[in-house]
A and B are shown apart, each in its own frame.
Chain A
Amino acid sequence: MLRHEQDPETAENPAIERVIAELRTPVPVRAEWRAGLARGLATLPPPSAAGPRFVRRWTFRPLTAIAAAVVCAVVGATIATVLLGSGRRSSSAEVLANLTSTMPLPGEHGGQSTVRFVLVAPYASRVSLVGDFNKWNPSAMPMRRSADGRAWLLDVPLPPGRHVYSFVVDGDLAPDPAAPRAGDDDFGVPSSVVLVAGAKT
């Protein structure tokens, strides 16, 4: 089952081979940790094959495709209307907020403005906001579920300027699907950007 495509340059390099041999050394498994893992597994409900809604079955259904296209067109037109109607460029967080609930006007919290972050993720069980404003700490800013259960919201006072952020959805990082992507992603993990009015740059 194991396949090892040996790079000739690596195979003939004793230094690299030494590194590989050292790194392949098994890591001790602490019995206490192993027992904790078993306890953690025991607390979970048994997985069931009857969970097809999570299984990707890529089949093409013409009627479904047409319906999806219509929905996309309507949503796109709505977003465009909001953007054009506001007469300014807005972040996706703001746009979605406008679509789902009222958004507080920029506040006067020591020169900071309140930005409402919104992520539509009806099947998520836990969503938090991470960014340069909270040192990318996933437990610092948990988001709250909207009244209809479809979206996750959080109002954050931010100083004027450019802020890079991402969502943590059930433990996985996810960029804002509609916001501009940050060009300075770390570790290949995509992040998004929100600009708060008043930036001098």
Chain B
Amino acid sequence: MTLPASSEVDAGSMSDAALVRRVLDGDARAFTLLVDRHLQPCLRFATRMLGNRHDAEDVTQEALLRAYRALATYDAAGSFRTWLFAILVNRCRTSLLQRSRYVKRVVTDEDAMRAATAADRAASTELRIEIERAVAVLDPDQREAFLLKHVEQLGYDEMAAVTGAGVSALKMRVKRACERLQELLGEVNDVTS
């Protein structure tokens, strides 16, 4: 069974909250539209946060499945994106904690080789690897705040709702992340120049 074309058009223009309502009213397929809207930001955040595509896919899938199961708890007065990211950030933290005791997060040789073989993007490969290395070195809370603020472009209020941290603390984390990144990338430039 598929939705009539007109319904698909209508659903595509619906707000996130309206889609959630539609899912809760029995149209489970409306959740597919929510996934389509938010999948890329979620997967991107998890990938940048964890530095590993497979972990990012696992975490993103867990977050989306969890969101689906808990959809009735979403409060339509708030942003669905904020609610979903709160789940995702929690999953990322759990994943990091699980492996932090014995795995040091680095850009692996496999990642470097894969990037290096992307001939069509050869010019930016080195820069990308250095950026990934620098981001990996950041403290997790600074990396988290930096990615939410500057990559996913959440406002500080949203970030506070997502992370549970205060706005002042988040601003400080972002500031320190920027300083640290500049410092790290500056070292790279000094060495390579």
Contacts and interface: CB of A to CB of B under 8 A. Distances in A.
A148 interface: no
Contacts of A37: 35, 61, 64-65
Contacts of B100: 136, 186-187
Interface string B34-48: 010001100110011
Contacts of A18: 127, 131
A186 B186 CA distance: 28
Contacts of A172: 90, 94
Contact of B24 (A13, A20, A48, A187): A48
B109 to A, nearest CB: 20
26 contacts: A3-B154, A3-B158, A7-B174, A15-B182, A15-B185, A16-B181, A19-B135, A23-B135, A23-B150, A26-B40, A26-B44, A30-B57, A40-B61, A44-B69, A46-B26, A46-B28, A47-B23, A47-B24, A48-B24, A49-B21, A49-B25, A51-B73, A55-B72, A55-B73, A135-B102, A172-B90
For the complex of A and B, the 6 pairs showing the least CB-CB separation, nearest first, are: A51-B72, A49-B24, A47-B71, A3-B155, A46-B28, A4-B153
Interface of B: 21, 23-26, 28, 31-32, 35, 39-40, 43-44, 47-48, 53, 56-57, 61-62, 64-66, 68-73, 75, 79, 81, 90-91, 93-94, 96-98, 100-102, 124, 127-128, 131, 134-135, 140-141, 147, 149-151, 153-156, 158, 165, 174-175, 178, 181-182, 185-186
Given A10-B178, A27-B53, 14 more contacts: A5-B156, A19-B185, A23-B44, A23-B135, A40-B61, A41-B28, A41-B32, A41-B65, A44-B65, A46-B28, A50-B72, A171-B94, A186-B97, A187-B141
